[in-house]
Structure 1
Amino acid sequence: MDKFFHSVTLFVLFLGLLFHGGVVTSLKNHDGSEEWGYVQVRPKAHMFWWLYGSPYRVEDPLKPWPIILWLQGGPGASGVGIGNFEEVGPLDTFLKPRNNTWLKKADLLFVDNPVGTGYSYVEDSKLFVKTDEEAAADLTTLLIEIFNRDERLQKSPLFIVAESYGGKFAVTLGLSALKAIEDKRLKLILGGVALGDSWISPEDYVFSWGPILKDLSRIDENGLQKSKIIAKKIKQQIRNGKFVDATNSWSELESVISASSNNVDFYNFLVDAGSDSVILSTMKLGLFRERSMKRYSNYLNSVSSRSTLDGDLGELLDGPIKKKLKIIPKNVSWGGQSGEVFTFLEGDFMKPRINEVDELLAKGVNVTVYNGQVDLICSTKGTEAWLRKLRWEGLHNFLGKDRTPLFCGSDQKTKGFFKSYKNLNFYWILGAGHFVSQHQSSSLTVMHMF
């Protein structure tokens, strides 16, 4: 570890005032393969980003090398921490090379979004975002500052890849970025949007939980009826625009499901919550208020294989990583404001974003949806339900197509299924839970996406 950090030579790449009055500061490592920094997206609101250039990059004018912007969920979970070190980045939580890093297929851009998440921070609590659209506006500002000054990046298509609540950020950002591109404020090629186990339609997901668990014998008829009553209440609250009430009822439903199922894991319905040592480590982090409505954000360490005895992600990010980056203010701790991010977004948490998916499809944007088979919180059943609500003109043909099985290499065991029509693609990933990129079949999605 010491060798890794001491071999990195840092120098200031750029420091200056930009047209919007904000300050952007960034650093590079010695060979330029990594760059990171802050963009002041609004006065006193600072967003952190980390860009990895792929050593596998191939310059091919017929198939330009892509860039993946990874958006974590929560809201309030750190892409720079979780997506990077726990899921798809070049190094794992031991700072050892990850064999299945997505760098093999693309450059990777991690962002701590919205402001207040991870290393991102605000100097005034009034600056936390309250809607997905506000978060998208900040992200668009960040993309403008990163891409407009780098002609090399402008030649690579950007794919916005999201996990969980990040899917809502992804579709609102996709539309915001398109508008900025049309207005010539953003020099970027949008390659597509990928929604991994994404919280696009909360109503459809909460209605799926009871039936799934009843069919699996995880809850009985009494538990099913209790869940249906609360789900119907949530539906009515959403219809009436009572979104904070709906968020509270969602919390109530999770508690009923947990009690009726003897604490099923919402991220893998085949196991009990907390049975994984990393889930216990997550709870130890305590980055979110100890309320049931924050259970959704308790995936901060997701489902990596390391033991709690080996330390936690917070210690890594506030220790050696913060030392390496040299740019994180002393008074900023990783995830120190994350709980506030969720609190300020409570009014938007249960709002659906199906219309935004429709708009992207209508504009010809490539939309890829992928779902883990054993996820409960953003179940495949719920995802299929909201997909059927799309008004996109190609939906009928998409639904009528048969699925194609997917395999890995010479292994002829079925790892998933795939369906595509025009610019809509769907992947069913077998054996995977909420954190698809943590499972052996996750590479299928990336291999077929580009």
Structure 2
Amino acid sequence: MENELKGAWHQFQDVIHDTAEQVHHAVDDITQQLKAFSHPAFPQYTMRYKKPSLCDPDVKQISGYLDVDDDKHFFFWFFESRNKPKEDPLVMWLNGGPGCSSLTGLFMELGPCTVNKAGDDTTINPYSWNTNSSIVFLDQPLNVGYSYGNGGATNTVDAAKHVYAFLQLFFQKFSEYEHLDFHVAGESYAGHYIPRIGTEINDNNKGHFQPASLLNEYASELKTINLKSLMIGNGLTDPLIQYKYYAKMACDNSYGPVLDRSQCDAMEASYPACARLIERCYKSQSVFSCLPAAMKCNKDQIQPYQQTGMNPYDVREKCKGGNLCYEILGSVQTYLNRDDVKKAVGAPNIEKYESCNMQINFRFNLAGDWMRPYVNELPPLLEDGVRVLIYSGDADFICNWMGNKAWTVELPWAGKDHFKAADDVDWLSPAGDKVGELRSTDDGQFAFLRVAGAGHMVPYDQPEASLEMLNRWVRNELA
């Protein structure tokens, strides 16, 4: 009898212990999810967050959502620098699309960890950009990656306003990072996003709020964002010039032709008509001019390459799998659809994570955003001292180095003549190996870097060189 009572008592204690543990975890989950705050200048925005320990458990992390009007929710994931987080710069990373998740950058390219083939675990990335910088990945525009909601931006200008609000709320709550040098980096369609985001930050730093009536009352509450530079990798920034180089990249790249000469000749012959349409778009920026330009030029200049079955992001490779031709993106999707991962980062409401949302791509295209001249945002930023790096993997077709270099040389700004006359010099690794070719102003204000042996996603193909590029660029020691 005594033994039975003892057994019952132990069972009772176990039940109490298990219940207490469940209550503790439930309370912890609730308190984590309810850490929310707002900003007086942005009454329609709130931010909620938690502190996960996935991917790089040895550094401080913050993940969560920027909520807008209760029906728009933008996901972010922040990692502190592995080095000196109180001193190292802060980088915001954006993938492109439009409609592709910045978590691609996190788990495939430059983030603290890489997903394994099975999609059930991660390994530390020794060449992560948070080696010497803190970094925040932002899923934008709406319904990209872990972000979700109704409506949302259909153009780059509107999308940039949400990014500025995100930064204001982030720095308000996590003020220990507001003094750090701040850099905006990204690739592909981020060649649109980043110049406009730079303008949004720079204009607001100077008090040129749009619309002024909304923010003047709370101007003293706004942080001056310490914007130092923009970094655009294999971006779509100046379509008028860049579309001219598709034929040349298809037939005359250093890795060997993808198309035969007659196809490239046909592409070159059709470019003048394409250019006229883009010029009309640049002049009016109306959807009625910009949408026909995108439809005509993409058909004539990009479709012939796509029909070959080769990877448009790497002329050296066949397209593999349905996820932007990279099998690893299937593994990333598997990992980010795990319930435990979604719970850990505060995204349990996401039914299905996808690397790219093609509906967003379609909506931006339909709004005429694809061909608009966001390149025009850059000269005023350069004049105001914001440094700009354009870098390009030399095996990419879709936003190739030839077109990117061409527009940097022709960019109309105060340093144009100096930049145009500058020499292209070998860019060397610390070991003395040539890993690229650099053209830069003497003061490092504006630079173009061709990265050898890399496709559209430079940090994926050349991780060590990409980290070296970042570290030297933020110290203004790229040359």
1:129-208 → structure 2 map (5 Å cutoff) = 129-183=153-207, 184=219, 185-208=222-245
**After superposition, what is the alpha-carbon deviation per residue over 1:374-421, rounded to whole angstroms, capped at 9, x for unaligned?**
1111111101221122111111112222233222232x3311122321
Q: What is the one-letter code of the residue matched to 2:250?
A: L
Alignment pair present for 1:222 and 2:262: yes
Report the CA distance shift for 1:258/1:200 in structure 2 as closer, same or farther (over 3 A): same
Q: Corresponding residue for 2:349?
A: 330
Match of 1:368 among 389, 401, 406: 389
TM-fit CA distance, 1:449: 1.0
1:31-430 → structure 2 map (5 Å cutoff) = 33-57=60-84, 59=86, 64-79=87-102, 81-94=103-116, 95-123=122-150, 127-183=151-207, 184=219, 185-215=222-252, 216-241=256-281, 242-253=289-300, 254-259=302-307, 262-272=308-318, 274=319, 279-282=320-323, 298=324, 302=326, 312-320=331-339, 322-325=341-344, 327-330=346-349, 332-335=351-354, 338-346=357-365, 347-410=368-431, 412-421=432-441, 422=443, 423-430=445-452
Q: What is the one-letter code of the residue matched to 2:398?
A: I
CA distance in 1, matches of 2:186, 2:401: 16
CA distance in 1, matches of 2:147, 2:178: 25
Gaps of 5+ in 2: 1-24, 117-121, 208-218, 282-288, 475-479
Contact 2:85 2:133 in 1 (8 A): no
TM-score (norm 1): 0.83
Report the CA distance shift for 1:318/1:366 in structure 2 as closer, same or farther (over 3 A): same
Length, aligned pairs only: 405
TM-fit CA distance, 1:165: 0.6
Give the 4+ runs in structure 1 shifted more than 6 A: none
**After superposition, what is the alpha-carbon deviation per residue over 1:303-348, rounded to whole angstroms, capped at 9, x for unaligned?**
x7x5x9xx62221111156434352243543239822211221010
Q: Corresponding residue for 1:292?
A: none
Structure 2 counterpart SS, 1:406: strand
Q: What is the one-letter code of the residue matched to 2:170?
A: I
Contact 1:73 1:166 in 2 (8 A): yes
Larger-gyration structure (1/2): 2
CA distance in 2, matches of 1:419, 1:321: 46
Gaps of 5+ in 1: 1-5, 283-297
CA distance in 2, matches of 1:44, 1:233: 42
CA distance in 1, matches of 2:468, 2:434: 11
TM-fit CA distance, 1:281: 4.8
Q: Corresponding residue for 1:285?
A: none
Report the CA distance shift for 1:321/1:56 in structure 2 as closer, same or farther (over 3 A): farther
Contact 1:119 1:332 in 2 (8 A): no
Alignment pair present for 1:436 and 2:458: yes
Q: What is the one-letter code of the residue matched to 1:224?
A: C
**After superposition, what is the alpha-carbon deviation per residue over 1:54-104, rounded to whole angstroms, capped at 9, x for unaligned?**
221254xxxx4101100101011100x201011111111131111111111
Structure 1 counterpart SS, 2:173: coil
Identity of matched residues, % = 22
The two structures, once aligned, show a CA RMSD in angstroms of 2.4
Contact 2:405 2:448 in 1 (8 A): no
**After superposition, what is the alpha-carbon deviation per residue over 1:238-261, rounded to whole angstroms, capped at 9, x for unaligned?**
2223211122224313222334xx
CA distance in 2, matches of 1:258, 1:92: 28
TM-score (norm 2): 0.79
Structure 2 counterpart SS, 1:159: strand
Structure 2 counterpart SS, 1:265: coil
